[in-house]
Structure formats: structure tokens, C-alpha cells
Structure 1
Amino acid sequence: MRARTVPTASGRTASGGRSRRGSRWVRAAHDRFLATGTPPAGLDPVVAESWRRSLRSGVDPDEPHPGRILSADELAQYRERHPLAAAMPLARAMLIESAVDDGLVVAVSDDVGRLLWVEGASRARGAVDRVGFVEGAVWREESAGTNAPGTALATRRPVQVLGAEHFARPVQALNCAAAPVRDLRTGAVLGVLDVTGGRAAGSRMVLALVRATAASLEAELARIAREHSGAHTAPGAYAAPDALVAANGLVAANGLAAAEGLGAALTPGAAVDLSVLGPRPAFATPRGPAPLPLRHAEILLLLAAHPAGLGADELAVLLHPGELSDVAVRVEMSRLRHSVGPVHVGSRPYRLARPLRTDADVVRGCLAAGDAVGALAAYPGPLLRRSTAPGVERLRADLSAEVRAGALAAGGPALEAWVASPEGADDHEAWTRLAALAPPGGPLAARARAHLSVLDDLLR
């Protein structure tokens, strides 16, 4: 999902396009959505998708239930051991102290949406207290509906939610902006930084400030980790070897590198011809990776999976869940040859002129070598995640299952990386295994138990 645009004070978006709808229109859209289950055209797509997720999760729009609130002792113990505790002095200096003057509340949650710290102006604290936005409560979408910290956690991206865009009506008097805070060594989301309040929290400058502060907290945590790793390694701690943080926020390790904006994983001496795991498919050219249309990526991937070749009718069945004519297939093949060259694709049946190496092959190669950590580092997300082609969906499910099985079998850093990913975030079996393997009494065990309690509440 692409980052949303944010309106300026003049009502125009920062990118110069049309501004978001007014509060009266959004409130009416919210009422229509609850009646029909279909968001109206013109609604911010980030909000529309979040409303759908909230509705599917069974959130009551009039009485949301933010989950079991930890006791004061439980919360104090959990906060003390949480990685974000080390960054709180910087958060207070950069954001919380000024928030008091601006009548705002700053909240920091963990990676499952549990609010660990809620600090700020007393008047604003009273307003958020009344809707259950309090320390120890869980504000992920499945519990509280659309809200900035919960939606930032669901999308893994900065987000701003204004007034009636909140799914739950009791929260619609508030505005909020939030951004994930990541561990730069592993790419794992540690939690979310949020600013909530009245009109001031709806400013585009607040979202920019939240994003900048989150980046500063990430850098501070990385600095602290470097200092600690130079002296000792804490029990259960993991430092990714030669880890590099790519421009798209994904991490590559064990000699893997992420191609900027394409998500292609490469290993030294073994170039990838086709990138199918990143946010956009890409094909290798002499001048570097070139973006590839989704349909062309689907065809190349399916042909790579069927080296003996596919007839037009077979390819049509694998490409489309309904009916796709042989003529349509031939047209796409002609376009594909024009795009990647006839040297790559033959016909009668359609097959590759030479094997193509994909970044999915890199993942499978790591798994075959017993390197589950390397496999997770090379796996930024599901295979061609936007594809609805039946053949691709099967390949996607197979690869995801293989990665999950490798992480569960390996434990340790691989298992930590799996549960930190969107696919593994709600994997109860994986979190249970992590809790069992983590050093007793350590921060990882506490985090796993806290996450399991949230999942158990959602499953009830």
C-alpha cells in the first residue's frame, strides 16, 4: 500500500493533488460503510482498507474493546525489559516535552499494539483516557478499529487518521499520527510512536515530526546496540551479521543485498534474473534491474516453474481464475518478448530459452543449505503479493510454508525474524515456540508472552 498524502493547512495535499474529504463527508461515508460494508469512492484508500479489516475483525463501532489492560506491576515489569525503554529519554526530549505545551498526547506501543507509555498534556490525557487509550491497553486494529498506532502497525508504515476516519465512533473526536519504530539490525518492528489530540494532531507537520522522531529513535537504539555488542552480547540477543538496511526498509544479511526500490535479493556471484518478492517485480538488464508489469512477471515465474513448457491453454488456466482466451495469452506473450527479448521466451509450447534465477530461488537455496536466517533476510514478503493468478497463488503459498517451516525448525534469530514479519505476526504456534525457546525471565520471553496474551484474546 502506498503512503498516503497529507493535506496542508490550505486544504491541498503535500503532493499538489486533491485534498482529503471534509469531516462531514467522511462521517456520512462511515455510516454508509457500516450499513453496506462497501467504502464509497473517494475515501482515502488507507482508511478504506482499514475499515474493511476492522469490520472483518468484528470490532463494535460504538463500543470498541481495546483488550485486557495489564496491571500496574505487569506493565512496569514489561516496560523495563522492552527494547524501546532505552529510547524513551530521547523521545521525551524530542517530542513529549513539546507535546505538553501543544496540548497533545504521545504514546509508544509495542509490536502488538499494547500501549506502554502514554504521556503528555493533562487535558488531552483526560480525553484519551475516556476512550480507553491508556497505558497497558491494546490498540491494534482487531481490538479498537482504525486508529493511527494500530493502522501503522497493520501497514508497517507511517499513517495519519483524522476524526471520523476512526472506525470506532467514540474516538472520532480525535486526530492521530503514528510511525513504526524498527530495529535497524533486523528490520523487525519494535513498536509504534504516536501523537494524539485535537486539531493540532491533524496537522501534516505532526506526521512529519512523528516520522523524524521515529527515525531518531531507531538510530539511537542502533547506537546503543553497537555499544553493547562491542562489550558483550546479552543472553538471547541477536546482531545480524553484516546487516544492511535497504532504502525500502527491508534488511539484507549474510551477504545478501536489497536492490533499492525493487526488493531483489542478490548473492555474490549468483545474480538474480527476476525479482518477485519485493514491492515491485523487476527483470535484470545490462543497465540494472528494470520494473516489470505484474502480468509479465507472472508469466516468467510460471514458465520458470514449468521448465518443460506450457501451452497457451495451460498458461491461461494458471494466469486467470476465470476464463482467459488463448488469443489474450498470445498477445501478452508478444508484449513480453518485446519487453525482455526473444532470447528469453520461446513458443510451441511457451518455455524459457534458458533458466531464470529468481530471488525466490535464493530463499530456497538458503533453506536447502540450512541457513534459515539467510532465508528470512532474503524474504522481504510474499511472492508477487498483488497477483491473483491461481498458479502464482499456489507458488506463493508453497514458498511461505517453506520459509515458516524453516524458521520454526531453526528457532533463534530465524524464528524472531519470522514473527517480526507481517506473515508471522499472528502465528500463534511460532510465538508459542519462541516463548518456549527464549531465556526465562529475559525480554524476549516477556515479549513473546505478551504477544501470545493478545492473540489469545483475539481468538476467544
Structure 2
Amino acid sequence: MAEPPEADLLRDPEAYARLLEHVHDAVLAGVPAPRSPRSVVSDSWQRSLAAHVDPDSGEAPLVFEPSEVTDLRAEHPLAPVLPLLRQTLVSIADDAEHMMIVTDAEGLVLWREGASGVLLRADRVALTEGTRWTEEAIGTNAMGTTLATGEPVQIYSAEHLVRRYHAWTCAAAPVRDPETGALLGSIDVSGPLRTVHPAMLALVTASAQLAEGQLRAQLAVRDEKMRRANMRHLDALRGRPGALLSAGGRVLAAESCTLPSTVEVRRGGGTVTLPDGRIAVVDPLDDGFLLRLATSGPAHRRRLTLEYLTDGAGSTTLDGREIPFTLRHAELLTLLALHPRGLSAERLALQLYGENGNPVTVRAEIHRLRTQLGTGVVQTRPYRLAADIDADFLRTRAALRRGDAAEATRTFSGPLLPESEAPAILEERESLTAQVRQVALNTTDSDTLWAFWETSCGADDLEVLDALCAALDPADPRLAVARTHRSRLS
């Protein structure tokens, strides 16, 4: 949810701008500020500075020349809603000495319309068609920040990271594809400080919602045309299970089968595995696909083995074949295995990165993971694993629930992903280690205590060593080893 404008901004914009200048200077200098920036601004400054944006000399980069932008406009999905946006925003922007800006999902300015005086001022600070306004390119600004967060946002004066934009105020809202939910771009209204208006953010948000509504209406028309043009292909199956799919994989009509609302398909069609394991063949049609179920019952599910309780590198195995993996992919697989019903991109971002998590980053990582493991293993909406999971941390968890101390310590070979700093992984690692330690201490079984002591989590634990020495039989050769190690720690 977007943070509302400050009351001080609405009462005295110029005084509020001066206060923000002091806050901006103090935060960047690392000295106490007269107040804290809004959280959306503070988070954006951190992302922008991490991308090495210079607050003193940054300028939006020109990526495409005007002639190239013309071609990009014609192909962009937001082109059909420009008349609506002009009707709802440009006339208001003219009256208020503002301008309307529309970007693509990568922050490229495709359209810019409004009061001529404001356009001339914008030219002087590179706020023009063909420039890129992501946070990574130019720091905190309404367009870039709304694309980074997926939420409407207003940025006023010195809330912009780069100083040359402190004389500007802007509000932006994201626009999403009604079929896929993917970001298409942002709609922005920008202008000089003196023309700031409390309704600006609400106006831009409403305009973005109107644009999405028009896109949904256009999508419904295309769906109906596709059904009418291709229903004969579904009829030709003569009652055999199948479906008509949109170009994005949405089920538009089905025959003799139950399917999820959306099927993951490749552009050229081919064989797909449904979430329940059924196999289907997808044939390309005009503006969509024909799906034919190849099997009526569930197919053999793939087996994903995760060995992440270790002091070493761990391993990820798919159907017996070891898969190279990054720490981030191991973290994703761990969280998805711990949440079999699935997680949204927003929830994954929170668990991986904390409050500063960006769902866009998570979606990119999931895309790379799905490319590596296959779309049949990692499902979407929500993100979840559609495979038989054999994970050492899940086996340990199950043993703890049963109160089986011997099995819990046998499967616990070390801390969960010890190099991970993801908040949810840290919490799970500490919880699992503490529980295994406690069940080991609660038993007098020497083998159970020895198994935990052999891990890095128990090696230098004096309480565990004392319990082990007390549990071992005097004739057991392991007692001398434990006592020697105990004496070294004293």
C-alpha cells in the first residue's frame, strides 16, 4: 500500500521541501537527521546507492533515439490505452503545469505529454522520451520506485536521491498485464514543486486501474474471438479430454477434463506436465493453443533430493542426477519445500531479503531456477514444487515431531545452509539446531549424543560433551576421545 503524502507537505510545500533537503544531506553524510525519511524512500535510497547512483552528478541515461522510440511505442502493450490516459491525465496535467509520462517495465520513457513549459524544463534535466528511469539508472524517483516495488508511490523534492531532481514532484503507479500479472510499465505525473496537489497520487492510481480495466476488456474480446475461431479443433477431439488455451496459457474452454486456470506452455507448444503429473500435448493455433491430454491418470512425478544439512557444499539431485546450484537457488528450494502449498513472490521476497525484499528480483530468480529444473518441477501461481521431495531437513523435522531422537541426530549432519543470511533460513537453521540439540541432551543414549557431537553444531558444546562423557561406557574407546576434546576446551 502506498504511503500517503505528509500533512506538512500539504500545509506548506516549500517548508517541507527545505526539511527534506536537510534530511537528504544528513542521511547521505551519515550524521543525525532532523527526522527519518519515509520507509519507501529510505529503502529506495539504499537500493539506488547499492547500484552506485551518484546523488551529486547522476542523470537519466539516453538509451534510445527518438526515431527508435517511435517503433517501440507501436509494439508496446500500453499503446492501446494511450487515448484513455490522454483523456484522464493530460488535460489535468496541462491545467496544473504537469506532464504525463508512460514507461515500459524497464523504466524506459515511451510517451511524454503535457504543458509546454513543463516539457521545456524537463528537457533540461533529461526527463525525455528514450531515457531510462529505473532506480539502478537514476536513483529514487516515482517511476523507478513504483516499478521496483509494484506499488503506487509519490516522490517529492529531496526524496529524489539525485539532487538535480529536487525541484520536481512526481507520482506514479504500475500497470500490469491482465493475463499474466507481469508489469507492463508505469504511469506518472510530474511537475515543479509549487504545483504539488494532494490528489496527484490518487489520480495516477485511478488512471492505472482504468488502463488495466480497458486491457482486461480488450483481452475478453480477444478470448471470445479465439474461442469462436478455434472451437472446431476442440470439437474434433470427439469427447476426448482437451482444452483451448489463450496465447498466455489460460484455459478458455475445456472438454472432458478438469484443468488449472493456467497451463505453462512454451511458444512453440510441445509436451507439458500438469501440476498433478498428467502429460499433455500442446499444439499452436492462431492466437492460442489446443491442449490434448496424453494420459488420463497421474504420470510419474520427478524426484528432487535436497541435502542441505552439512558443513560442506550440500547437494541438489533431480531424478538421481546432481544439479549445479547457487546458494540463492538452494534457499528458494528450501523455502518451497517447507511450504508445500506454495508462496507468492511477495512472501518469498520477505523471507529471502526481509522488509527490503523486491518481488521482481524473486521472479527473476524463479525464472532461472525453472529454466534449470524444468517448469514441471517448479510451478507458479503460487510458486511451489511439483515433485516428490526428499530433503534431509524435512526428515529431521519429521523425526523431531515423532520424538525420535536417534533418527533426528542421524539425519542432522550440520547446520541448514550455513552460508545463508536469508531471514527465514536463519530462523529455520537456529530452530532446527536448537531442537536437535535438546532432544540429544534429553536422552542418555551415547550413540545419539555422539552423532550430534560429531557435527559442527555440537563439537565445542560443553554441555553436550559432559552429557556424552557421562553416557559413554568406560570401556567404550570413544570416551577417551571425548574426554581429550573436553580437556582442550577447559
Band the TM-score falls in, shorter-chain normalisation: 0.5 to 0.7
Does 1:179 pair with 2:158? no
**TM-aligned CA distance change 1:387 to 1:71, over 3 Å:** closer
Q: State the distance in 2 between where 1:200 and 1:20 align.
A: 8
Q: State the distance in 2 between where 1:42 and 1:398 align.
A: 28
Instruction: Classify the secondary structure of the residue corresponding to 2:19.
Output: helix
Corresponding residue of 1:360? 339
**TM-aligned CA distance change 1:225 to 1:81, over 3 Å:** same
Does 1:405 pair with 2:369? yes
% of aligned pairs identical? Answer: 33
Kept after mapping to 2: 8 A contact 1:408/1:415: no
Does 1:383 pair with 2:392? no
Kept after mapping to 2: 8 A contact 1:360/1:383: no
* Greater relative CO (CA pairs within 8 A, separation 6+): 1
Corresponding residue of 2:118? 124
In the TM superposition, residue 143 of structure 1 has moved relative to its aligned partner by 0.9
**TM-aligned CA distance change 1:242 to 1:198, over 3 Å:** farther
Corresponding residue of 2:247? 238
Corresponding residue of 1:3? 2
Matches within 5 A, 1:135-154: 135-154=129-148
Q: State the distance in 2 between where 1:175 and 1:44 align.
A: 15
Structure 2 unaligned residues grouped into runs of 5+? 230-244, 253-259, 264-274, 277-305, 311-335, 383-490
**Which residue of 41, 60, 65 corresponds with 2:59?**
65
Kept after mapping to 2: 8 A contact 1:20/1:44: no
Kept after mapping to 2: 8 A contact 1:179/1:211: yes
**TM-aligned CA distance change 1:10 to 1:156, over 3 Å:** closer
Does 1:84 pair with 2:101? no
**TM-aligned CA distance change 1:133 to 1:26, over 3 Å:** same
In the TM superposition, residue 54 of structure 1 has moved relative to its aligned partner by 1.4
**Which residue of 199, 207, 212 corresponds with 1:213?**
207
In the TM superposition, residue 398 of structure 1 has moved relative to its aligned partner by 12
**TM-aligned CA distance change 1:400 to 1:58, over 3 Å:** closer
Q: State the distance in 2 between where 1:76 and 1:416 align.
A: 35
**TM-aligned CA distance change 1:181 to 1:38, over 3 Å:** farther
Kept after mapping to 2: 8 A contact 1:177/1:201: no
Report the number of matched residues: 287
Output the TM-score relative to the length of structure 2. Answer: 0.51
Larger radius of gyration: 2
Corresponding residue of 2:156? 162
Instruction: Classify the secondary structure of the residue corresponding to 2:348.
Output: coil
1:275-323 C-alpha deviation (Å, 9 max, x unpaired): xxxxxxxxxxxxxxxxxxxxxxxxxxxxxx99xxx9xxx9xxxxxxxxx
In the TM superposition, residue 68 of structure 1 has moved relative to its aligned partner by 3.3
Could you tell me which amino acid in structure 2 is paired with residue 241 of structure 1? R
1:392-436 C-alpha deviation (Å, 9 max, x unpaired): x9xxx9999666322566689x99999xxxxxxxxxxxxxxxxxx
Corresponding residue of 2:99? 105
**TM-aligned CA distance change 1:388 to 1:21, over 3 Å:** farther
Q: State the distance in 2 between where 1:133 and 1:108 align.
A: 12
1:315-364 C-alpha deviation (Å, 9 max, x unpaired): xxxxxxxxxxxxxxxxxxxxxxxxxxxxxxxxxxxxxxxxxx9893134x
CA RMSD after TM alignment = 4.3
Matches within 5 A, 1:237-276: 238-241=247-250, 253-254=261-262
In the TM superposition, residue 164 of structure 1 has moved relative to its aligned partner by 1.1
**TM-aligned CA distance change 1:41 to 1:20, over 3 Å:** farther
Kept after mapping to 1: 8 A contact 2:349/2:362: no
Could you tell me which amino acid in structure 2 is paired with residue 362 of structure 1? R
Instruction: Classify the secondary structure of the residue corresponding to 2:47.
Output: helix
Instruction: Classify the secondary structure of the residue corresponding to 1:64.
Output: coil
Structure 1 unaligned residues grouped into runs of 5+? 14-18, 244-251, 256-266, 269-304, 315-356, 364-377, 419-460
Could you tell me which amino acid in structure 1 is paired with residue 222 of structure 2? H
Kept after mapping to 1: 8 A contact 2:153/2:173: yes
Kept after mapping to 2: 8 A contact 1:173/1:198: yes
Kept after mapping to 1: 8 A contact 2:135/2:145: yes
Output the TM-score relative to the length of structure 1. Answer: 0.54
Instruction: Classify the secondary structure of the residue corresponding to 2:122.
Output: helix
Q: State the distance in 1 between where 2:225 and 2:52 align.
A: 49
